[in-house]
Chains A and B, each alone.
Chain A
Amino acid sequence: MGKEELRNELLKALSDAVVDMDEDKTGELAQKVLDEGLNAYDAVMNGLAAGMEIVGDLYDKHEYFVPELLLCADALYAGLDILKPHIKPEDIGESAKGQVVIGTVQGDVHDIGKNIIKMMFEVAGFTVHDLGRDVPLEKFVEEQMRTDSDIVALSAMMTTTMMGMKKVVQMIKEKNPDVAIMLGGAPVTKDVSELFGADGYADSAGNAVQEAIKMISRLREMQK
């Protein structure tokens, strides 16, 4: 088998293993990528992340639900943990310098959507500063300034905690208008996102996968 053929086969198998929620298989395949001397970053982006994108689609089509999404994420991590130490900075390019602050706002202890987004940023080579859940609003501002992060991603599962996001967006934009802000969570709509002055939004965990990919691409365009 030629190298290109092997690459294609392994990428497809990695993607399938993520979609099939098969942690053992993604681990084995990730190791095979390394053993065969293939590019680890290519395997992450075009294997694991490609699989996760299909998972996002399946979620939107009501074929997969949150339990499946979480198990697919576990499978992705099983591969990512093996491949990540072998990713070369030159493969990622400028975005290797990308940093993101992420957390669920105060009053909200739901963090599933936040964790999915976090994973997608990790996949894309970002350094993620995860503040966890039930995070006081000022903490987002402090952490963005401390780390000089490019993106701040805020999550709120409940309408009632969503208003906290508006304050964070204002506080961060006042200090640094160039920071891209992403809002996520069930109550977040396009209107809310625009009203709050954010740069991107995701209303479901499945949609978050796509939105994170879009935001990362936009950021890369800006860095070019």
Chain B
Amino acid sequence: MTEMMPKERIQRFFNREPVDVMPCFSGMGMVTVQAIEQMGIRFAEVHTSAEHMAHSAITTAELFGFDAVVIPYDMCTVPEALGRGVSLYHDSEEILYPTVPSKWATLDEVEIPTDYLGKGRMPVVDEALRIVKSKGDGKFAVGGWVLGPFTMAGQLIELDVLLKGTRRQKEKVENFLSQMTDLVIKVARHYQNLGVDYMNIREMGSGTDIISPRVWKMFVQENLQKIFSALKSPKILHICGSTDMIIEMMNECGADALSVDQKNNVAETRKKLGDEVLLLGNFDPYGTLVQMDASEVEQVIKTCIDAGVDAVWPGCDIWPDAKKENVETYVRTVRGYGKRPSPAVGRV
């Protein structure tokens, strides 16, 4: 059989149909400075221009041979559209992702407007998705993501209010999270309507480094179940940080695939969940692609595959300042070592 096109490879992958080789992609940010430099722009400029966002995504995929492009880039587009502002760090020499400057101080202040899909940089992201669909579609799969309700809540109100509220203001927190759930569904469906090929829900602020498995069950699980039942496939649940204690509950949320980071013991997870579950992960993108010597990368990627992932995903956004050689080794190792079947996906 001839080599598959990236989009077909990913579609088949999520259907758990045999593929020619392990796909190399992510559900989080994948843009690199090599692409930004090739375009002759600064990282800070990429967040306000649909053209820059789309072109840097496509250029990155072309440079390294990724199977997908992923939009949006930052976690502030929705908070900004809800009126919480955005810090873009235009003047900084560092590579800094935008942040939310003014969160709601209390749960009583929360007021969600109805027309947020057209506010702030939301139209920029929409336009970037349209561009990648028209220019890269077919060649690359297009991935989209939205923060999960608990994480989105933490972007909108002060985190200590949210966390303490899980014990002291249960009803108010539940109501707020319910609003967040509706919001996440609305945004994720919007991106699905714009044609993303897979949707990743990043509930990254809910690992057990932060909340207990009990609180996760009470405040996170049900909302995620509601979200995944409202979305089309393929849909992925990603949680970074400590997930060993909640991985079985994550698997009950209705996602087609689970993504975890380097803190998860994937070999154990595979034993717990069985070979049918699509597992994605789990290398430390910063440590592996920025800090390590390129010669060490191959082993990191092989370790992920040996532990039982179906595709080697970074545990978070690929840090834009990743070393070219390291990213190349990542892709090369996935293609070479990923020729054999993974637990949930066979090979043609």
Write the residues of chain A forming the contact surface with B, with a CB cutoff of 8 angstroms.
Answer: 21, 62, 65-68, 70-71, 74, 106-110, 112, 115, 134, 159-164, 186-187, 204
In the assembled complex, how far is the CB of residue B239 from the closest CB belonging to chain A, in whole angstroms? 14
Cα A68 to Cα B94 in complex, Å, equals: 35
Chain B residues contacting A160 (CB-CB under 8 Å) are 95-97, 286, 317, 319
Cα A186 to Cα B159 in complex, Å, equals: 15
In the assembled complex, how far is the CB of residue B191 from the closest CB belonging to chain A, in whole angstroms? 23
Can you name 15 A-B pairs with beta carbons within 8 Å?
A65-B211, A65-B215, A67-B163, A67-B166, A71-B164, A74-B164, A106-B94, A106-B96, A107-B89, A107-B92, A107-B99, A112-B160, A162-B286, A164-B94, A186-B209
Quick one: which of B101, B163, B210, B211 contacts A134, CB cutoff 8 A?
B101
Question: From A187, which residue of chain B is reached at the shortest CB distance?
Answer: B286
In the assembled complex, how far is the CB of residue A213 from the closest CB belonging to chain B, in whole angstroms? 21
What string of 1s and 0s marks CB contacts (under 8 Å) between B144-188 and chain A? Answer: 000000000000000110011011100000000000000000000
Cα A108 to Cα B87 in complex, Å, equals: 11
Quick one: which of B95, B160, B245, B316 contacts A70, CB cutoff 8 A?
B160
In the assembled complex, how far is the CB of residue A194 from the closest CB belonging to chain B, in whole angstroms? 13
**Interface contact A204-B209, CB-CB below 8 Å:** yes
Chain B interfacial residues counted at CB < 8 A: 29
Quick one: which of A66, A107, A159 contacts B163, CB cutoff 8 A?
A66
Chain A residues contacting B319 (CB-CB under 8 Å) are 159-160
Cα A62 to Cα B214 in complex, Å, equals: 12
Chain B residues contacting A62 (CB-CB under 8 Å) are 208, 212, 245
What string of 1s and 0s marks CB contacts (under 8 Å) between B58-81 and chain A? Answer: 000000000000000000000000
Query: B107 within 8 Å of A by Cβ?
Result: no
Query: B241 within 8 Å of A by Cβ?
Result: yes
**Interface contact A70-B163, CB-CB below 8 Å:** yes
In the assembled complex, how far is the CB of residue B42 from the closest CB belonging to chain A, in whole angstroms? 15
In the assembled complex, how far is the CB of residue B8 from the closest CB belonging to chain A, in whole angstroms? 33
Query: B46 within 8 Å of A by Cβ?
Result: no
Question: From B166, which residue of chain A is reached at the shortest CB distance?
Answer: A67
**Interface contact A112-B96, CB-CB below 8 Å:** no
Given A66-B210, A70-B160: A134 and B167 interface contact (C-beta under 8 Å): no
Cα A67 to Cα B99 in complex, Å, equals: 23
Chain B residues contacting A74 (CB-CB under 8 Å) are 164
A67-B164, A107-B96, A109-B99 known; 20 new pairs, CB 8 Å cut-off, are A62-B212, A62-B245, A65-B215, A66-B209, A67-B167, A67-B211, A70-B160, A71-B168, A108-B99, A109-B101, A110-B159, A112-B159, A112-B160, A112-B163, A134-B99, A159-B286, A160-B97, A160-B319, A162-B286, A187-B286
Chain B residues contacting A106 (CB-CB under 8 Å) are 89, 92, 94, 96
CB-contacts of B285-324 with A (<8 A): 286, 316-317, 319
Cα A73 to Cα B86 in complex, Å, equals: 30
In the assembled complex, how far is the CB of residue A99 from the closest CB belonging to chain B, in whole angstroms? 25
Question: From A107, which residue of chain B is reached at the shortest CB distance?
Answer: B96
Query: B231 within 8 Å of A by Cβ?
Result: no
Chain B residues contacting A71 (CB-CB under 8 Å) are 164, 167-168
Cα A173 to Cα B94 in complex, Å, equals: 20
Question: From B160, which residue of chain A is reached at the shortest CB distance?
Answer: A70
Query: B100 within 8 Å of A by Cβ?
Result: yes
Enumerate the 10 nearest inter-chain pairs by beta-carbon distance, A residue then B residue, closest first. A107-B96, A159-B286, A67-B163, A65-B212, A109-B99, A66-B210, A67-B166, A70-B164, A65-B211, A70-B160
**Interface contact A161-B168, CB-CB below 8 Å:** no
**Interface contact B210-A65, CB-CB below 8 Å:** yes
Cα A71 to Cα B161 in complex, Å, equals: 10
Quick one: which of B94, B208, B286, B316 contacts A107, CB cutoff 8 A?
B94
